[in-house]
């Protein structure tokens, strides 16, 4: 097997066995785009199905599918036009562009998160460490580090078309349609809306295979909660142990990952949000289920300088590959940022009406501005002055206690006599209130999950004096569940083997049929793509109607009646039976 690193070994295996390879290689390829082959597409589909089962079906959430192209105003409101940037440094000699923060992290072992640093400081580090252009070797000292927006721009429609963008995350397709989804949820909080789909990021320097792509697949959940009343069901995950790398631990000289249960993490204030802690707990169990090595996994809290514009707190689920920590999932507490912004920019209602158990009588400040005074006094700004008075009364009623009140309109302070504001405190009976939910977001990078599962499943051992490579992928996410072979391609064994394969496919199992080469080589081919079980039809089969079932990891073999095969293999795949119990 060629390659000395996990990345090199995995790239060789992935291309040779049909997991993934660079797109359009016949034309030289293009960085950041990969095509999944039959094995990779099946593995990816199975991981998506496992995610959907755990984070949508079992949690009782809704799933939607939104377009990948959206109009410019959506991304003005979301903040992506202004803040969705990476650090770019361009080589003056060859013109190649590079992620400046990545160059610094690769060169300086003690700088883990250069992305959190100011651009100027990153430029200074390029000079301090004598970092050169990876393409031509020219010195990058003195070159400016600039912001580069990662969104792909497009036009919607012909002629005087409207500007649009390929979405950089699937989340905005959920946020922008929130009023409609709230109706579907009957305005009952909490509720969640999930989506699995493509996202696009014009990465400066894509690298490491599926780790950094320009077209990627995300599985995102936006869980809308009432921050005052909705409590996370922590009891379900209270005893799950989390490997937590908090901000204080990252900043300490001797900081390290802490092993805390969900209950301990919340009680000690290490994880500030109960909802984030809940999703860390259920995702930890899920990562184990799909084959992530927990000895090479941690949850790392974002440092203050690297928090996204929408998040008050974020934890990343990270896996280790080749000594590097790779973000698999971001668990962000987005507050009401997204709904606030879309309400402001669209002037639509992004709230949920929360019905009280019984009507309540409350005092409410009101204004009834005297427009016969405001009109002549403020002219065309009179309506804006009235709106500002209404907003001030709701926000700060004490401001009306004097003879006049100051409000700001178009960056100018205006003064209005209180007698002309119509200010009053009235008693009103209310049956409920409008609540703008907060959002808890677990966002999974599906491609990185595929890459991690493959890297963590990669094994080498020796069988019968021969070196063997195999993927120890969990049976329920493996691309193929069972390989079916005739011991010899004659004497009717091939016909019986094909009949067995058809029966197993009819039972809903993913099956491959192989009659090429020695039986040992056929086993090795299936081991290398992670097929957990192989069925061999041999010369005993016509006599006793049994076949040999071989288990991938142990290479152990057992005889199983043909009639029992569908139920037996289904139970093995789903974890309802163990191979040792056959």
Q: In whole angstroms, what is the distance from residue 284 CA to residue 517 CA?
A: 42
- Model's pTM, two decimal places? 0.87
Give the C-alpha separation, 278 to 273, whole Å. Answer: 9
pLDDT of residue 298: 98
The tens digit of pLDDT for each residue in 532-561 reads: 999 999 999 999 999 999 999 999 999 999
Query: 480-581: which CATH topology?
Result: Rossmann fold (3.40.50)
Per-residue exposure over 384-395, b if at least 16 CB sit within 10 Å of its own CB, e if not: ebbebbbebbee
The H-or-E segment that residue 413 falls in is strand 412-417
pLDDT by 10s per residue, the chain, length 582: 456 788 999 999 999 999 999 999 999 999 999 999 999 999 999 999 999 999 999 999 999 999 999 999 999 999 999 888 899 999 999 999 999 998 998 888 788 778 888 999 999 999 999 999 999 999 999 999 999 999 999 999 887 779 999 999 999 999 999 999 999 999 999 999 999 999 999 999 888 889 999 999 999 999 999 999 999 999 999 999 999 999 999 999 999 999 999 999 999 999 999 999 999 999 999 999 999 999 999 999 999 888 777 788 999 999 999 999 999 999 999 999 999 999 999 999 999 998 888 888 888 899 999 999 999 999 999 999 999 999 999 889 999 999 999 999 988 999 999 999 999 999 888 888 899 999 999 999 999 999 999 999 999 999 888 899 999 999 999 999 999 999 999 999 999 999 999 999 999 999 999 999 999 999 999 999 999 999 999 999 999 999 999 999 999 999 999 999 999 999 999 999 999 999
CA–CA distances in Å: residue 340 to residues 34, 143, 335, 353, 439: 37, 39, 9, 16, 11
Residues facing 430 on adjacent strands = 360
Bridge-based pairing of strands 533-537 and 482-486 is parallel
Give residue-wise pLDDT tens across range 405-421: 999 998 899 999 999 99
Question: Helix or strand or coil: residue 121?
Answer: helix
| Both tokens assigned to 218 | 């995300």
Burial (Cβ within 10 Å: 0-12, 13-18, ≥19) of residue 129:
middle
Beta strand pairing call for 412-417 and 404-409: antiparallel
Q: Taking the domains of the chain in order of start, what are their residue ranges?
A: 363-429, 480-581
Predicted local confidence at residue 3, as pLDDT: 60
No. of H helices and E strands in the chain? 19, 28
E strand intervals along 436-567 = 438-445, 458-463, 466-471, 482-486, 511-513, 533-537, 546-551, 557-561
């Amino acid at each position: 097997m060629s390659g000395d690193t996990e990345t090199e070994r995995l790239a060789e295996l992935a291309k040779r066995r049909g997991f993934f390879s660079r797109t359009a290689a016949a034309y030289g390829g293009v960085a950041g785009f990969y095509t999944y082959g039959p094995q990779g597409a099946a593995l990816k589909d199975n991981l998506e199905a496992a995610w959907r089962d755990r984070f949508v079906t079992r949690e009782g959430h809704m799933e939607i599918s939104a377009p990948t192209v959206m109009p410019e105003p959506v991304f003005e409101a979301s903040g992506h036009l202004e803040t969705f940037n990476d650090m770019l440094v361009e080589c003056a000699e060859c013109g190649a562009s590079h992620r400046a923060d990545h160059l610094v992290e690769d060169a300086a072992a003690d700088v883990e998160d250069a992305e959190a640093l100011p651009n100027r400081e990153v430029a200074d580090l390029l000079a301090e460490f004598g970092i050169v252009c990876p393409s031509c070797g020219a010195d990058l000292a003195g070159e400016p580090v600039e912001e580069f927006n990662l969104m792909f721009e497009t036009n919607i429609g012909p002629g005087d078309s409207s500007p649009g963008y390929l979405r950089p995350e699937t989340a905005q397709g959920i946020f922008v349609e929130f009023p409609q989804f709230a109706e579907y949820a009957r305005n009952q909080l909490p509720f969640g809306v999930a989506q699995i789909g493509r996202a696009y990021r014009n990465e400066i320097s894509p690298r490491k295979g599926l780790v950094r792509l320009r077209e990627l697949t995300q599985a995102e959940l936006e869980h809308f909660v009432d921050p005052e009343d909705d409590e996370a069901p922590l009891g379900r995950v209270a005893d799950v142990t989390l490997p937590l790398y908090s901000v204080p631990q990252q900043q300490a000289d001797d900081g390290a990952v802490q092993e805390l249960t969900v209950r301990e993490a919340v009680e000690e204030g290490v994880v500030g949000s109960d909802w984030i802690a809940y999703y860390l707990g259920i995702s930890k169990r899920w990562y184990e289920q799909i084959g992530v090595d927990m000895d090479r996994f941690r949850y790392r809290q974002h440092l203050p300088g690297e928090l996204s514009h929408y998040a008050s707190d974020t934890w990343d689920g990270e896996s280790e590959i080749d000594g590097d920590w790779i973000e698999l999932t971001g668990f962000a507490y987005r507050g009401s940022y997204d709904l606030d912004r879309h309400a402001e920019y669209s002037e639509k209602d992004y709230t949920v009406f929360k019905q009280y158990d019984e009507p309540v009588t409350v005092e409410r400040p009101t204004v009834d501005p005297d427009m016969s005074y405001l009109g002549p006094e403020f002219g065309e700004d009179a309506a804006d002055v009235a709106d500002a008075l209404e907003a001030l009364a709701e926000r700060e009623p004490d401001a009306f206690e004097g003879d006049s009140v100051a409000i700001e309109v178009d960056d100018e302070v205006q003064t209005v006599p209180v007698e002309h504001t119509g200010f009053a405190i009235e008693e009103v009976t209310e049956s409920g209130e409008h609540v703008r939910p907060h959002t808890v977001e677990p966002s999974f990078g599906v491609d990185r999950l595929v890459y991690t599962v493959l890297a963590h499943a990669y094994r080498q051992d020796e069988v019968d004096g021969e070196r063997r490579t195999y993927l120890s992928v969990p049976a329920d996410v493996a691309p193929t569940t069972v390989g079916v072979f005739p011991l010899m391609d004659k004497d009717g064994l091939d016909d019986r083997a094909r009949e067995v394969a058809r029966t197993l496919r009819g039972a809903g199992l993913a099956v491959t049929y192989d009659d090429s080469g020695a039986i040992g080589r056929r086993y090795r081919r299936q081991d290398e793509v992670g097929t957990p079980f192989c069925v061999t039809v041999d010369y005993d089969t016509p006599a006793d109607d049994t076949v040999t079932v071989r288990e991938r990891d142990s290479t152990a073999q057992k005889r199983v009646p043909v009639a029992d095969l569908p139920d037996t293999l289904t139970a093995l795949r789903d974890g309802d039976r163990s191979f040792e119990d056959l």
